[in-house]
Every structure is written in structure tokens, then in C-alpha cells.
Amino acid sequence: MRSELALHGGEKTAHEPFPPWPLFSERTLQDIQEPLKTGRVASWAGPRCAELESRWAAWIGAPFAVSCSSCTAALHMALLALGVGAGDEVILPSHTFASTALAVLHAGAVPVFCDVASDQTIDPRAIEPLVTPRSRALIAVHLYGIVCDMERIVAVARRVGLSVIEDCAQCVGGELSGGKAGTLADAGCFSFSQGKHVSAGGEGGMVVTGSEQIARSCRTLRDYGREQEGQGRAAHVRVGFNYRLTEMQAIVATNELARLDSWNLPRRQGYARIYDHAFGQLPGVLALPLNTPARRNAYWKYPLQLDRAKLSCDVEEIRSAIVAEGVPESGIPWPESYDEPVFKERAACRCPNAEALRARTVVLPLHPTWEKSHAEVCVAAVKKVLRAYRR
Ligand SMILES: Cc1ncc(COP(=O)(O)O)c(C=O)c1O
């Protein structure tokens, strides 16, 4: 009954606000004071950025980790370290946050937008037709925490001679056949911004790689192009940036990493299981987010694909109805990159699968600060809305 929906004046499903994310631990509130008290606040003045890097490398299983100020910076550095430059083409999905393609422009290269498969990530079958003599690299984005089909992607890329970067901004702890997202290609780039799996207190990033040369390049690039990072008198050997993390940010991220496997990820995965169970057979639902024993999802958010043929309204109305029930459904928080003004003049293309996903996906939240009851409220709201709009 539509009249029962909060959108039409009915009672809301959620009576209380949801717990916020991120929410930092008491320990972090204490630890963060140390560099502020000693004055050793920059990465070169204290030990905490280096400590975060070695812990991150050990956790993910990569030989090298280079901290930086954001994932945009990480992607930019990784592209440059792989030799991408003016006039080169980089293949990447359009269905991602604009930053992925902005990093390509920062590197002086041209973004070439590729369509996604029904799992929301770059379609390995759509890559090869986009390859030209100028193609140099490919960026795979593990969107929402869904791990891309990296085996097939890397196989295509190697066949045609492309370097591969993983954009893991939304995927910390996703796995492919036991290997962690970020270690499945040439370099993996992470975001520690406000609402991500690991927040470094607002901003931050990391590049991980198995290549000493890529790691060394990134260290030089983040430190004004200095040959020997942190050495005030070291020569500036290339055009570099100031992409450094601070000691306070490193402390926050280190403490978040310490509770990632014991608290953060299991809770995300647990709430995703509640959603899977509730929505798996629900009329009006077309597909759950991909999660298999081989491709293990890290669930930044929970994208639920609706079966439009079984519903009597468009996805926008469903979203509005879910939000009116008190559930913070976020919609897809980015337009197609080729629809963004900054890329429009540079890339005239369309990605039909991405547009079809846009027209049928609602994006549900799930946070480690929640209890089971919060996921259950979201389930109740979605069920109520789909029931009301079912054909
Ligand atoms: C897929 C993706 N890539 C890159 C970024 C950029 O991350 P940052 O804000 O750390 O630069 C984001 C941020 O939301 C993202 O979602």
C-alpha cells in the first residue's frame, strides 16, 4: 500500500538515527596527542608514517607501501611511476568517482572510458577493443568493495602490454583467491578519506606495490621530487609534489588498521549477509552485490540491483521512498565520468551497461558502528518500499 509509505505520510520505519561513521576509538583520541605535544608532526620528523607503511605492507602482503595525502595522489603517483605521461591513453571505467580519471589527466594522459559488467566493475571483455598504439595502462576500480575480475583483466592487459593499477579507494580487505585487493596487479591505491573503511581522520592514501622501482618513484614524487626523501639537502631530481601524510593522520590510520580484521570487516560482512538473506529471493530484486568464495567483497556499501520490470516506478522514486523511511540510501554518489563537465569535451562516449546499472541500483549503507538491529531496520524499509511498488 503506497499510502503506508513515509513518502506519502505513513509512519517511518526508522525511529532512531543511525550510528555515525567514522567513529574513532578512545585510544586514538589519546595517541593522537603525542606528535602534537612533541612537535614531531611531519612524516619526516616522526616515526608514525613509516610505522603505518610497514604495518599496511605486512597486513596486505605486499613488499612496499608508500603513504600519501589521498587516493587521488596515490593514483597520480602510481601512473607516473609506471611511466604514464603526455599523450598516453589509460583505460578505466566511467562508472566510478571522478577522481580515478582526474588522476589520469594529472599525469598528462587521456582517459579512455570502458563499460562495466553486471557486477559493477570493469568488463574484461570490453577492454581489448579500446586498445590503441597509445594505450599505456589500465585502472581497475573495485567499486563499492566488489573485487574486479582481476585474473581476466590482468591476462588481457599483459597480452596487449598494459600496466595495471587497482583503485582500492572503496575496497580495503577484498580478496581474490586469497590475495588481497591492491596486490593483484602492478600497484594498488587506497583512500583514507572521511567515510572510507579506514579513515585517517579526514584524508590520506597509500600506494602498495611489489616493485621496488615503483615504490622508490612514489617516495620521490610525494616529496617534491627529492632523490632521497626527507633529506633537506637532497637533490630534486624530477617534478615532484607535496603528497605527504602527517604523523597525526598516520596514528589514526594505524589504529583503524589494528581493528580492521577483528571488528571493521567482519561487521560489514555480517550486515551484508543479513541483506543477502533478506533480499536474495525478494520479488523486485534482480541481483545482490557479487561475493563468492573466490571474489570476497569488502562491502564499502551495498549496491542492490532492482528488477525494474517487476516495479511500477523508477529507481529515483524507490530511493526517495527508502530515504523517507529514515534509511540513508545514498544513491550512486557519482555521475558517469563522461557526463562530468571536466571530461565531457575530452571523451565523447557512452557505456550502456553502466547506464543500465544506474537505472536499477539502490545503494544501502552498512557501517561497523552499527548493531544487527540497524541492518534489520534497513531490510524492513526496503521490503516495505518494494512491496508498495510491486507490479
Ligand atoms: C573509486 C574512488 N577512487 C578514488 C577516490 C579518491 O580518493 P581520495 O578522496 O582519497 O582522493 C575515491 C574517493 O571517494 C573513490 O571513491
Look up the CATH number of the domain holding residue 366. 3.90.1150.10
246 and 359 part of one domain: no
75 and 221 part of one domain: yes
94 lines ligand 1 (CB under 6 A): no
CATH code assigned at 203: 3.40.640.10
100 lines ligand 1 (CB under 6 A): yes
Neighbours of 25 (CB within 10 A): 14
- The answer as to whether 126 is a domain residue is yes
Distance between CA atoms of 237 and 381, rounded to whole angstroms?
57
Distance (Å) from CA 52 to ligand 1 centroid: 20
Ligand 1 atom at minimum distance from 96 CA: 1
Q: Any idea how long the chain is?
A: 391
- The answer as to whether 241 is a domain residue is yes
- The answer as to whether 109 is a domain residue is yes
pTM, rounded to two decimals:
0.98
Distance (Å) from CA 192 to ligand 1 centroid: 9
Q: List alpha helices for the chain, DSSP H.
A: 26-31, 33-38, 48-60, 71-81, 99-106, 150-160, 212-222, 247-258, 265-279, 315-324, 341-344, 352-358, 372-389
Q: What percent of the chain has pLDDT over 70?
A: 98
Ligand 1 atom at minimum distance from 72 CA: 11
Distance between CA atoms of 34 and 40, rounded to whole angstroms?
8
H/E element, 144: none
Distance (Å) from CA 196 to ligand 1 centroid: 9
Distance (Å) from CA 97 to ligand 1 centroid: 6
154 and 222 part of one domain: yes
248 and 109 part of one domain: yes
68 lines ligand 1 (CB under 6 A): no
- The answer as to whether 209 is a domain residue is yes
Q: Which of 258, 273, 307 is the last residue of a domain?
A: 258
- The answer as to whether 3 is a domain residue is no
- The answer as to whether 8 is a domain residue is no
8 A C-beta contact, residue 268 and residue 372: no
Q: Which of 69, 71, 104 to mutate to test the pocket of ligand 1 (most atoms within 8 A of CB)?
A: 71
72 lines ligand 1 (CB under 6 A): yes
Distance between CA atoms of 170 and 192, rounded to whole angstroms?
10
- The answer as to whether 11 is a domain residue is no
157 and 191 part of one domain: yes
Distances (CA, A) of 310 to 7, 119, 224, 286: 20, 20, 56, 9
Secondary structure of the chain: what % helix, strand, coil (to 5)?
40, 15, 40
Handedness of CA 119, 125, 131, 136 (dihedral sign): positive
157 and 222 part of one domain: yes
Judged by DSSP in three states, 293 sits in coil
Contacts by 276-281, CB closer than 8 A, 24 or more apart: 278/379, 278/382, 278/383, 279/304, 279/379, 279/382
Ligand 1 atom at minimum distance from 191 CA: 10
250 and 320 part of one domain: no
218 and 133 part of one domain: yes
8 A C-beta contact, residue 139 and residue 169: no
Per-residue pLDDT of the chain (391 residues; tens, 9 = 90+): 789 999 999 999 999 999 999 999 999 999 999 999 999 999 999 999 999 999 999 999 999 999 999 999 999 999 999 999 999 999 999 999 999 999 999 999 999 999 999 999 999 999 999 999 999 999 999 999 999 999 999 999 999 999 999 999 999 999 999 999 999 999 999 999 999 999 999 999 999 999 999 999 999 999 999 987 666 678 999 999 999 999 999 999 999 999 999 999 999 999 999 999 999 999 999 999 999 999 999 999 999 999 999 999 999 999 999 999 999 998 998 999 999 999 987 667 999 999 999 999 999 999 999 999 999 999 999 999 999 999 9
Q: How many domains does the chain have?
A: 2
Q: Which of 224, 258, 292 is the last residue of a domain?
A: 258
122 and 227 part of one domain: yes
Distance between CA atoms of 115 and 125, rounded to whole angstroms?
9
Distance between CA atoms of 278 and 286, rounded to whole angstroms?
13
Say if residue 369 is exposed, middle or buried (CB neighbours under 10 Å; 0-12, 13-18, 19+).
middle
162 and 71 part of one domain: yes
Distance between CA atoms of 85 and 194, rounded to whole angstroms?
30
183 and 64 part of one domain: yes
- The answer as to whether 156 is a domain residue is yes
289 and 333 part of one domain: yes
Q: What is the tens place of the pLDDT at every residue in 177-208?
A: 999 999 999 999 999 999 999 999 999 999 99
Distance (Å) from CA 141 to ligand 1 centroid: 10
Ligand 1 atom at minimum distance from 334 CA: 16
Ligand 1 atom at minimum distance from 167 CA: 3
Distances (CA, A) of 321 to 8, 30, 180, 249, 282: 9, 42, 37, 38, 17
Helical axes 71-81 vs 99-106, angle rounded to 10°: 40
Domain extent, residue 381, equals: 260-389
Q: Which of 221, 242, 258 is the last residue of a domain?
A: 258
Distance (Å) from CA 205 to ligand 1 centroid: 9
Q: What is the tens place of the pLDDT at every residue in 216-242?
A: 999 999 999 998 766 667 899 999 999
Phi-psi region of 230 (alpha: psi -120 to 50; beta: other; left: phi over 0): left
Nearest CA to ligand 1 atom 8: 71
